[in-house]
Amino acid sequence: MSCAAAILGCRGPALDAEERAFFRDVDPWGFILFARNVETPDQVRRLTDALRETVGRPDTPILIDQEGGRVARLTPPHWRLYPPGRAYGELDPAIRREVTRLGARLLAHDLAAVGINVDCVPVLDVPDPQGHEIIGDRAYGDTPEQVALLGRAACEGLIAGRVLPIVKHIPGHGRAKADSHLELPVVETSFEDLEARDFAPFRALSDMPMAMTAHVIYADIDGALPATTSKIAFDRVIRGAIGFDGLVMSDDLSMKALSGDFAERARASLAAGCDVVLHCNGDMDEMVQVMAGTSRLSGRAAERARAALARIPGAPEPLDAVEARARFDAAFGGAYA
């Protein structure tokens, strides 16, 4: 696999000539879409086709953040609403897991129809009462056991629909008291407490194909660097205590939690242990810098990338979408119909 170890965004609902030429030249492993890239189903399908054409790989990963609740890029009137993670966790315990899997299967049905094959779901962060609201109702519950149970159900539903899940934000963002989009959070909790609570859902889902890092400093692990750029955090926690051996991607390099220019951010993330770096906003000047600090996918990173894509089944699990949506809506009393 000779492509670059990067996932990039684009500026709008269609590629311009500059973007087409740039993506052909740098050959990123994948792409990510945001609300600015979305108008209608037909338009999104044209865009995903065009992105894959630029790199010449029909299985190119195309990502989106389609969690449900306040984190959704595909929205009405063309796409249906889905609940946030918390809503699944508040269902009757007898049906929580089944409905979470069903919701993810329906999400995958929506995404696959427009050429999207990776969803940045599930959120495996265990929220802390003192933590920032950036996680909040995106979490499936307040215990690692419930987060792991419903997180796995979501992964199963996505994969059944031929969409890869990304567990996030490894090794855990729930205790952070700041939004890493805006500043660098520092968590002072002991390693032992983190291992027992925050790391537990990721350890339970360490067999998943892909994970996204947290731009968070864990002072008892590495007091100087966030997990994304900390080799200590990778060796001791992500690959160590958690035992995650799938592909690990950085969270967005343009978030203000990180410092240095974009080439430095990319180099530091890859040197720490990220297999690929993520840059989301489609800013061409920033992407040029990111690619200056990004290497080609090789060695174990390339093996993990191939293994991740190999987890996409050859055919989707059969789905009667009308019947499945009716069951899903009934579970929530029509609140998300």
pLDDT score recorded for residue 328: 97
Closest CA to 230 of 245, 216, 241, 244: 216
Percent of the chain's residues with pLDDT above 90: 93
40-94, pLDDT tens digit by residue? 999 999 999 999 999 999 999 999 999 999 999 999 999 999 999 999 999 999 9
Domain boundaries, the chain: 28-41+58-291+301-314
* 260: its two tokens: 């240095």
Closest CA to 161 of 121, 116, 106, 123: 106
Name the phi and psi angles at 174, rounded to 5: -65, -30
Q: Would residue 181 show up in a list of annotated catalytic residues for this protein?
A: yes
Name the phi and psi angles at 43, rounded to 5: -65, -45
* pLDDT range class, residue 1, cuts 50, 70, 90: low
Residues contacting 133, CB < 8 A, separation 6+: none
Cα–Cα distance for residue pair 312/330, rounded to 1 Å: 29
Asked if residue 61 lies in contact with residue 30, where contact means CB atoms within 8 angstroms, the answer is yes
Cα–Cα distance for residue pair 288/171, rounded to 1 Å: 29
Q: For CA atoms 32, 107, 309, 120, give the dihedral sign.
A: positive
pLDDT score recorded for residue 183: 86
Cα–Cα distance for residue pair 212/67, rounded to 1 Å: 14
Report CA-CA distances (Å) from 288 to 25, 27, 59, 262: 11, 12, 24, 9
Cα–Cα distance for residue pair 193/257, rounded to 1 Å: 23
Look over the chain and give the mean of its residue pLDDT values, rounded to a whole number: 96
CATH fold of 28-41+58-291+301-314, please?
Answer: TIM Barrel (3.20.20)
Closest CA to 248 of 222, 229, 261: 229
Percent of the chain's residues with pLDDT above 70: 100
One of 110, 128, 137, 251 is an active-site residue; which one?
Answer: 251
* pLDDT range class, residue 156, cuts 50, 70, 90: very high
Mean pLDDT of 154-175: 97
**Cα Rg of the chain (Å, integer):** 19
pLDDT score recorded for residue 228: 97
pTM over 0.85: yes
* 296: its two tokens: 């080609």
Cα–Cα distance for residue pair 11/283, rounded to 1 Å: 7
Has residue 208 got a pLDDT over 90? yes
One of 49, 59, 181, 207 is an active-site residue; which one?
Answer: 181
Cα–Cα distance for residue pair 278/7, rounded to 1 Å: 5
Name the phi and psi angles at 87, rounded to 5: -65, -35
Q: H or E element: which one contains 327?
A: helix 321-331
269-324, pLDDT tens digit by residue? 999 999 999 999 999 999 999 999 999 999 999 999 999 999 999 999 999 999 99
Asked if residue 118 lies in contact with residue 61, where contact means CB atoms within 8 angstroms, the answer is yes
Cα–Cα distance for residue pair 177/264, rounded to 1 Å: 26
Antiparallel, parallel or unpaired: β 276-279 and 4-8:
parallel
